Structure 1
Amino acid sequence: MSDDDHTSPSTLLDVAREAGVSPSTVSRILNGTAKVSDDKRQAVMAAIARTKFAPNLMAQGLKKGRSQTIGIVVQDISSPYFDETLRGVDDGLKGTGYASVIVSGHWNAEEEADRIRLLLARKVDGIILLSGRMSDETVLQFSGQRPIVSTGRSLNTRSALGFKLDNEYGAWMAVRHLIELGHRRIAFVSGPANNIDAEERAAGYRRALFEAGIELDPKLMVEGNFHENSGLLAVSHLFDTGQQFTAVFAANDQSAYGVRLCLYRKGIRVPDDVSLVGFDDLPGSSYTTPPLTTIRQPLYDMGLVATNALLRLIHGEPVQAQVPPLELVVRETTRRR
């Protein structure tokens, strides 16, 4: 075999031979028109990887009227919450020939809409909307131009799909865990006002107390903003106003980190003096001191499932997708009274 044989690029025929299918099947899988089994599709994608075949994606996109790009709207590019979900999106795109364009909506409905218009102007083939404050009606209007998959809402049309986790139930599990450990004075650091996730988690907090026959004390509820500083400021406020509590439920892990710092600065031991529960199970929550008890959201899985669902919508294929449920992860920041 000559040196040229080692360096010459592989062809569509090489992929077909490697996968044991016809060249036309490889071509149709690449351009999204093939109706084949998942096993056959995976065999072709594996053959592409082994042969290092590099299709001319630009030419393919022009031929079928696609850009081979998807748009992703996040709310805060600095948040580890969205980092974990984007990791799932990135893995979902591997081997598909699609690239992503990421923009931020900054928890502002008008800005989210502007960013989607920008993505549509760039001719993306579909959009993943990670949470946000746009109305369902607005999302459905945009889906008339390109398929959209969104987290944090319930949608199910031919061009729009939503995945919504039960935030109220997750918060209920967190507070119920504290109640079962004997806590009655449970402070709550909420999320920001007019945020649906925050509202649902507050509802779960109230429901758990009500079902346990514990009177709700509004003075133990302090509004936060899902960032670390709000957890620190919220607990400082509780101390400044003389509130008595033996546990804190923070509406997300980032707020819980701030709570933990404030308690540390006050010389209060966790969990010996005060128990603490978060919500999200961010990667860093296993490494706090002590490791944080929290509600695990399947963040990576949501990104992966949303990406697979969007690609199916783009190709006109049926979508049946589910994400794992929320679960309580008990670590070392909670203990019995």
Structure 2
Amino acid sequence: MTLAEVARAAGVSASTVSRILNGTANVSAEKREVVERTLTRLNYRPNVLARGLASGRTMSVGVLTQDISSPFYGDTLRGLEQGLARSGYHPVVISGHWRAQEEMEAIDFLVTRRVDGMAVLGGVAPDERLREVAGQVPLVALGRSVPGLEAQCLRLDNHSGAYAATRHLIDLGHRAIAHIAGVPSHRDAQDRLSGYRAALEDAGLPFDPDLVLEGDFLEQSGFLAATRLIEGRRMFTAIFAANDQMAYGARLALYRRGLRVPEDVSLVGFDDLPGSIYTTPPLTTVRQPTYEMGVAAAACVLGLLRGEPPELPPLGVELIVRESTARRRL
């Protein structure tokens, strides 16, 4: 089955079918529906290699994530995949594991595979390298801001989210609030720590460095940090973890030591991962619109591929109050 045969069956030109397949057609919804029905009925499968040679495109979008197994990045990838659906483009995903050298190698891999566009999810690759790549292919960055590429970056306000989480605990009467922070070199971790400190300062509460422990955004580090808090004999009645995964680990550590959530210790996370509503008790957290971020990144890359100016919607964070927080017992 050739593209010309599909065009004859649909009653349109071969060039119209081609543009619909590669996502660049400006046609009516009715005509697009006729062509898509015909493609399905005739079971047309385009020769991707031939199309790439003819058009100079590989119909692929490179995606640099940090950990493909992470539920946070998984939800963003799901949105990105959905955003590319029916466009003719497909994602090529590779992980950087928050290591600059691995990220640079991953970016080089995607560039040498001639991806048509790229989406970078977080990471620590140098801004200079991302600007260089953006000069070669359309690029969108999520979770970071690259000077010179601001219109192509979507970064949420981690500071205000952490402030809201800490303020929620303060309003419940908690005064000794511990913080399990992320890796200090990560901008998200820095902003969430600064939001935590700002909420304490605005409430007239002293910042106690002994109540801040470093994690790595994974469950085990949350477990270890909460264990150190308990063993350190520091008085605390609440924990704000810099992400939900570390909050899960902290919850287990509290359980192992016979401390109840929220009766003895209130617990707040950050991200609102899909599983956070099903923890025991359901976790109070700061919601990041991870799926929507993926959809927005895909739409922006596709727009850039069509020669349109970059456009990313304003997305915000939101405190989601569930049963893991309660008023401090006197």
Q: Same fold (TM over 0.5)?
A: yes
Instruction: Give how far 1:81 is off.
Output: 1.0
**Alpha-carbon distance change, 231 to 50 in structure 1, aligned in 2, over 3 angstroms:** same
Aligned match of 2:285: 294
Q: 2:215 aligns with which of 215, 224, 227?
A: 224
Instruction: Give how far 1:29 is off.
Output: 3.1
Aligned match of 1:269: 260
Instruction: Give how far 1:63 is off.
Output: 1.4
Instruction: Give how far 1:178 is off.
Output: 0.6
In the alignment, is residue 188 of structure 1 matched against residue 179 of structure 2?
yes
Q: What amino acid maps onto 2:48 in structure 1?
A: L
Q: 2:6 aligns with which of 3, 8, 11?
A: 11
**Alpha-carbon distance change, 193 to 25 in structure 1, aligned in 2, over 3 angstroms:** same
**Alpha-carbon distance change, 44 to 152 in structure 1, aligned in 2, over 3 angstroms:** farther
Q: What amino acid maps onto 1:12 in structure 2?
A: A
Whole-angstrom CA distance in 2 between matches of 1:113 and 1:268 = 44
Instruction: Give how far 1:45 is off.
Output: 7.4
Whole-angstrom CA distance in 2 between matches of 1:155 and 1:233 = 34
SS of match in other structure, 1:72: strand
**Alpha-carbon distance change, 42 to 322 in structure 1, aligned in 2, over 3 angstroms:** farther
Larger mean Cα displacement after TM superposition, 149-158 or 85-94:
149-158
In the alignment, is residue 68 of structure 1 matched against residue 59 of structure 2?
yes
TM-score normalised over the length of structure 1: 0.89
Aligned match of 2:231: 240
TM-score normalised over the length of structure 2: 0.91
Whole-angstrom CA distance in 1 between matches of 2:242 and 2:35 = 41
**Alpha-carbon distance change, 10 to 244 in structure 1, aligned in 2, over 3 angstroms:** farther
Larger mean Cα displacement after TM superposition, 69-78 or 172-181:
69-78
Aligned positions, number: 324
Aligned match of 1:202: 193
Kept after mapping to 1: 8 A contact 2:61/2:116: yes
SS of match in other structure, 1:128: strand
**Alpha-carbon distance change, 31 to 300 in structure 1, aligned in 2, over 3 angstroms:** closer
- Mark the runs of 5 or more structure 1 residues left unpaired by the alignment: 1-8
1:1-337 to 2 correspondence within 5 Å?
Answer: 11-14=6-9, 16-17=10-11, 24-35=15-26, 39=29, 43=33, 47=37, 51=41, 52-155=43-146, 161-337=152-328
Q: What amino acid maps onto 2:135 in structure 1?
A: G
**Alpha-carbon distance change, 93 to 258 in structure 1, aligned in 2, over 3 angstroms:** same
**Alpha-carbon distance change, 59 to 159 in structure 1, aligned in 2, over 3 angstroms:** farther
Whole-angstrom CA distance in 2 between matches of 1:160 and 1:68 = 24
**Alpha-carbon distance change, 323 to 177 in structure 1, aligned in 2, over 3 angstroms:** same
Whole-angstrom CA distance in 1 between matches of 2:37 and 2:147 = 34
Q: What amino acid maps onto 2:220 in structure 1?
A: N
SS of match in other structure, 1:11: helix
Kept after mapping to 2: 8 A contact 1:89/1:307: yes
Instruction: Give how far 1:282 is off.
Output: 0.6
Whole-angstrom CA distance in 2 between matches of 1:288 and 1:272 = 16
- Mark the runs of 5 or more structure 2 residues left unpaired by the alignment: none
Aligned match of 1:6: none
Q: What amino acid maps onto 1:179 in structure 2?
A: I
Whole-angstrom CA distance in 1 between matches of 2:38 and 2:211 = 58
**Alpha-carbon distance change, 247 to 45 in structure 1, aligned in 2, over 3 angstroms:** farther
**Alpha-carbon distance change, 276 to 145 in structure 1, aligned in 2, over 3 angstroms:** same
Instruction: Give how far 1:23 is off.
Output: 5.2
Per-residue CA deviations over 1:28-80 (Å, capped at 9, x if unaligned) read: 3334544457x579646754675454333332222110011111111112211
Kept after mapping to 2: 8 A contact 1:155/1:163: no
SS of match in other structure, 2:51: helix
**Alpha-carbon distance change, 29 to 274 in structure 1, aligned in 2, over 3 angstroms:** same
SS of match in other structure, 2:64: strand
Kept after mapping to 2: 8 A contact 1:293/1:334: yes
Per-residue CA deviations over 1:128-173 (Å, capped at 9, x if unaligned) read: 1110002222210111121111111235868981110001011001
